[in-house]
A and B are shown apart, each in its own frame.
Chain A
Amino acid sequence: MKETGVDSKTAAFGLALAITSLLSAILVVIKELNQDTVLALMKSATGHHWVSHGIFVLIVFLVLGWVLARGEVGSRLSGNALSAIISASIVLSALIIAGFFI
């Protein structure tokens, strides 16, 4: 097998970053469109919706990274593919957030 230099743990947490970034952007849209339910729930959980959002993002990133690493999901990904996936996710999630508030 060709040596890509990206081990399965590195790939797993890279994929977790890409997925979490998108989920965070989707959560922004969901909570802003459902202020009486989702946003209110996030406010009541920690006292501030943004604090709850941050905790959600960190937990999803860590859990997803751990689960993907255990399953060796990203073991066949090259470093270049991982760079492209992460970059696409960063651009898309920023566009979702900026597009929603514009």
Chain B
Amino acid sequence: MPNEMILMLHASFGVLAILASVWVFAETLTNSVASQGRIRWVSLAGAALMWLSYLIGGYWYVVYYGADKALIKEGPWPFAHSFFMEAKEHIFFSLLLLSTYLPMVALRLAPERPQVRGLVLWLSGWIVLLGLAMEGAGALIAMGVKVALLAKGAMGG
């Protein structure tokens, strides 16, 4: 499989995990008996998708990112690595823990437990916010590679 496809799978699973958390957040707002089964299954699916994104992205990062990193650091946007990649690769751990924890809490959902509902809303909300931040950082890192290649091309490299 080409490297680029591995990277696209990482981003795609991340987007699907974010969408699953949006679903969990929206259904938890109503928190009816009918919606609780769906909330549990979708939160589990979200965790599985986030783990897939982590494992695939981690594989790509460890095996292939070195060449991109060298390009970015020599290019016009070195901050795409020094800030965005460094922050992304480490803040991602909090996102992974949140995604893993959410299904555990969703299992406790019941109409008579309003504070569990609040906790599910906070957790899924944080997953959406951090997930979007990760996607944005990923786009900036990709742009860092692109501007580095363009600058290299302009110099005849």
* Chain A residues at the B interface, C-beta cutoff of 8 Å: 3-7, 9-10, 13-14, 17, 20-21, 24-25, 28, 47-48, 50-51, 53-54, 57, 61, 78-80, 82-83, 86-87, 90, 93-94, 97-98, 101-102
Contact = CB atoms under 8 A, between A and B. Distances in A.
28 contacts: A4-B113, A5-B108, A5-B110, A5-B113, A6-B113, A6-B115, A7-B108, A13-B104, A17-B98, A20-B97, A24-B94, A48-B62, A50-B58, A53-B90, A54-B93, A57-B96, A57-B97, A79-B115, A80-B118, A86-B98, A86-B119, A86-B122, A87-B122, A93-B94, A97-B90, A98-B83, A98-B91, A101-B87
Contacts of A54: 54, 58, 93
B119 A6 contact: yes
Interface of B: 54, 58, 61-62, 82-83, 86-87, 89-91, 93-94, 96-98, 100-101, 104-105, 108, 110, 112-116, 118-119, 122-123, 126, 130
A13 B101 contact: yes
A68 to B, nearest CB: 13
A5 B118 CA distance: 11
Most buried by B among A5, A25, A53, A94: A5
